[in-house]
Amino acid sequence: MSKSVETTFDRSSLTGPERYITVASYFLDVDLTAVQRRIFRAVASNKRVYVQSGNGVGKSFTAAALNLAFLARHPDSICLATSGTYSVLSDVLWKPMRRLYADSELPGRALESPPRIELDDEWYFKALSPRNPSNLEGRHAGTMFVTIEETDKPDITRDHFDSAESMLTGSDDRILAVGNPPEDESNVAAELRDSERWHTVQFSSFDSHNVKVDAGTASDSSERVPGLVGLETIRDDWENWNGEEWPGLESARTAHTNRTDLDQRWYRRRAGVQPPTAAAAHRPFDVADVEAAVARSPPSETPATPDAVGIDVARSGDRTVLAGVHGDEIRIHYSEQGTNHATQESRLGTYLEGWSDPRDPVPIAVDAVGEGSGLADNLSREYDAVERFKSGATARDSTEYSDCWTESLALLGQRLADGASVSESATRLKAELFAAARSVELSERHLSSRGFGGSTVLTASSKGEIKATLDRSPDHLDATAMAIWADSARESAGGYATTAENVVVL
């Protein structure tokens, strides 16, 4: 292919707002959706473009195609890209870009580490880590195009934009910033959105091509596009996140304009707007869940032998706690401060021995970090179903949760939502539940190692948030969450499955 696309197209088609669409259609053979064409036109007409949207509209694929179209349109140009998370840059931008390039008429070669496409010595695309903003500086070319993905993530700062803007010298130089809406005004993405120097293009997930196809309102192709969000997913998210029945397409589309009490995820990931300050945080459980559990009466009967137990082992100043799941009831059997683990092990044994049955061993989750490791070793020699619980280890449901700490809190939240009861005597556990409900939030994290193409998983805020609220370690909460985690594993393996409506915490 000649370095100049002007041998293929007449000059007028390469200077107007459709120029990158024209080039992408010819060299990449892509059929862009209405959302994607709008972004292409915005970049053609504006030096600085910020795309803020909900998930699933195809903005990252658009960025990938735009980089290649820019390279094809501007010989000897340099395209640079960075992201709030380098693994996301690799998964959501580089992978589709590499695939499009392989099927294109562009010359050169694609290379890894770092991801890059070398068309010539001074004509290339390169992906850069976000760790050092100055990496965006010092490159000079006839034309520059800088893409900053995940603009709303903490790793992207004002310094990244200052470095990128330092390279804008020619009339065709461009910066494209892409991301979800910021969580609050302190985020650099809020500066872009409110700046007169930046042209903002905003979409909600309802603008997705597949949503329009599902709703029968698509003005272009009626074929669904793989990878874009559809109406069924949006409906499920409304019901799961907001705890309400689906109100209908039009009501859900505009709910963010007149309500401030929806889940934060709905505002950012579906409506494509910054959440109001009153929006519900994404938590494993909230204060209302704990209050309801405290107000409920306990069930009248429970089995004497637990279905699963959790043991949190004391460190300096902490408590060793044994919690058990007894059918519909969760009990705190043992709680002792100090690190006399030999004595504590003996006392724990009096409970475990009474519950021991080789034909149906009780699952025992033990906090197997530090001092807990030795106790886990000893219990493993005595009992058949001991599992070493490590907060930072990979969760069983590794495509949903980042680690066992997050997974155990989510399972605890499910128990509370399903009708758990907490007795008045469980004052320490009750205080820890309220502290966790007020301080723990769930956020999203993309892990490229989870499944094909990576997975976006939930991760809970640090246990330190609870400690700061309580001014002590949440030992009873930890033991309870571990017991439920162990019980959940037993249920999923086909063992005990609770059928009653209430769970009681004593």
The pLDDT of residue 365 is 94
Can you give the pLDDT at residue 503?
Answer: 41
Query: Which whole number is the average pLDDT over 432-456?
Result: 80
Q: Could you tell me the residue ranges of all domains in the chain? A: 5-203, 212-271, 287-505
Contacts of 218 (CB under 8 A, 6+ apart): 209, 212
**Separation of alpha carbons 442 and 269, rounded Å:** 14
Crossing angle, helix 475-492 and helix 427-439, to 10 degrees? Answer: 80
Does residue 250 register a pLDDT over 90?
A: yes
Strand-strand pairing, 455-460 and 442-447: antiparallel
User: Torsion angle of alpha carbons 489, 493, 497, 503, nearest 10°?
Assistant: 0
Q: Please identify, in words, the CATH class of the domain defined by 287-505.
A: alpha beta
At 506, the pLDDT band (50, 70, 90 cuts) reads very low
Q: Are 506 and 331 in contact (CB under 8 A)?
A: yes
Highest mean pLDDT among 137-151, 443-457, 477-491: 477-491
310: confidence class by pLDDT, cuts 50, 70, 90: very high
Give the torsion through C-alpha atoms of 212, 214, 215, 219, to 10 deg: 40
pLDDT, average across residues 135-148: 80
The secondary structure element, H or E, covering residue 179 is strand 174-179
Tell me what pLDDT residue 429 has.
Answer: 92
Average pLDDT rounded to a whole number, residues 285-309: 85
Looking at residue 498, what is its pLDDT? 34
> Which segment, 30-34, 42-46, 219-223, is predicted with the most confidence on average?
42-46
| 219/3: higher pLDDT | 219
Q: Is the model's pLDDT at 499 over the cut of 90?
A: no
Residue 180 near residue 269 (C-beta atoms within 8 A): yes
Q: What is the DSSP string of 64-121?
A: HHHHHHHHHHSTTEEEEEEESSHHHIIIIIIHHHHHHHHTSS--SEEETTTTEEEEET
Cα Rg of the chain (Å, integer): 27
Q: Per DSSP, what are the bridge partners of residue 203?
A: 53
Residue-wise pLDDT tens digits, 207-233: 999 999 999 998 777 789 988 999 999
Q: Is the backbone of residue 69 left (phi > 0), alpha (psi -120 to 50) or beta? A: alpha
Q: What is the DSSP string of 228-250?
A: S--HHHHHHHHHHHH-S----HH
pLDDT exceeds cutoff 80 at 47: yes
Which CATH number is 5-203's, of 2.30.110.10, 3.40.50.300, 3.40.50.620, 3.30.465.10?
3.40.50.300
The partner residues of 467 in beta bridges, in order of sequence, read none
What does the pLDDT average to over 361-377?
A: 81
pLDDT grade, residue 146 (50/70/90)? very high
pLDDT at 500 over 50: no
